[in-house]
Structure 1
Amino acid sequence: MALLDFAFRWAHILFALVWIGHNYANVVKHPTFMPLNGEASETERSAALEARLQREHGTFRYASIVVWTTGMGMLWQRGWLVDALRLEGPYAVIGMGAWIGTLMLLNLWLVLWPHQKKVLGFVPAPMEERVRCSRITFLSSRTNTILSIPLLFFMAAGGHGLHLFF
């Protein structure tokens, strides 16, 4: 069990850096909303660029699943999962982090990614729809970036600083 805990912990940290790091890098690269350029043609996008975009977005998305799964696995392994998700007792703090992480995962997979596929041209959509989706992906991405701050606070406070809450 100690080896499983070690593997969960390191996978959780490593893939969280990928997931949240992608959000922060996106904010640094594009601090303000820049609408999709509707004048660029589809032929201007090379196969190499499309392959890179698919790999980058796939890594980012699947990292979120690894982070969420290992986090829930660690809570389950310790016997804390039910109390954490119910926000009961001393597990309420880590539970808040778990719920924020769950919200971020759902936002990524159910809001951001369906719209991002249209923006990137992975799913055919008229240019007006792609431009509209670019704003949604921007806001969805920023929402996850902002939520990552309290997420990290609650996750760290669950093991280091719990006395602040009780």
Structure 2
Amino acid sequence: MDGMTLDLLVRWVHFLAGIVWVGHNYSSVVQRPNWRPLSAADLIDDQSPRFQALLNREHGTFRWAAVLTWSAGLFMLWQRGILASALSLHRAQAPIGIGLYLGTLMMLNVWFVLWPHQKKVLGLVPASVEERLRCSRITHLSSRTNTMLSLPLLFFMAAGTHGGFLFG
């Protein structure tokens, strides 16, 4: 595969996986703008409609989309020879570097904050009802944090190509 084809493929993987990842957070905000914490009854009764709705949602897709988005972005920066400049926030690469750091923080949030707590909420990891209720709130806040971080992330991703001269 030639370099241009690989670049196009990786760019589209980054773009589409990013839509899945960030889109999951935005759809959560739109579907549940007035989030109501789970009640103990929601967690005790595994047949409750709210609990079943949580179980039926696909939780793996957005986690792996985060990894794919982040990996493709890192690969593109490496392929272009600007990874070190982006990581060091050097001149015109500073905006994309800030985007890289935000994306890294968001991915780590998904895997090391949201997912461990979500596994307890869903009953995939044993936990008391009180612990599951606490974890429900943490997963909500973790998801909302990523949603809010995605706004500056998108800004800095675009500024890397369409405004890097501001940082030069």
Q: Mark yes or no: TM-score above 0.5.
A: yes
What is the alpha-carbon distance in structure 2 between the residues aligned to residue 50 and residue 28 of structure 1? 16
Distance 1:51 1:138, change over 3 A: closer
Conservation of the 8 A alpha-carbon contact between 2:103 and 2:153:
yes
Contact 1:33 1:135 in 2 (8 A): no
Aligned to 2:159: 157
**Offset of 1:62 from its aligned partner?**
0.3
- For 1:99 and 1:13, how far apart are their aligned partners in 2? 17
What's 1:80 paired with?
A: 82
Give 1:7-18 correspondences, 5 Å limit: 7-18=9-20
Q: CA offsets, 1:37-71, max 9 Å, x none?
A: 2113344169x867733xx1101100000000000
- Could you list the runs of 5+ residues in structure 2 that have no partner in the other structure? none
Query: Conserved in 2, the CA contact under 8 Å of 1:61 and 1:108?
Result: yes
**Change in CA separation of 1:147 and 1:49 when aligned onto 2, cut-off 3 Å:** closer
TM, length-normalised to structure 1 = 0.92
Question: Alignment partner of 1:39: what SS?
Answer: helix
Equivalent residue for 1:129? 131
Contact kept, 8 Å, 2:91 with 2:167, in 1: the verdict is: no
Equivalences, count: 163
Q: Which residue of 2 aligns with 1:52?
A: 56
Quote the Cα distance in structure 2 between the aligned partners of 1:32 and 1:51: 20
Q: Which runs of 5+ in 1 are unaligned?
A: none
State the one-letter code of the partner of 2:34: T
**Aligned counterparts of 1:108 and 1:43: Cα–Cα separation in 2:** 25
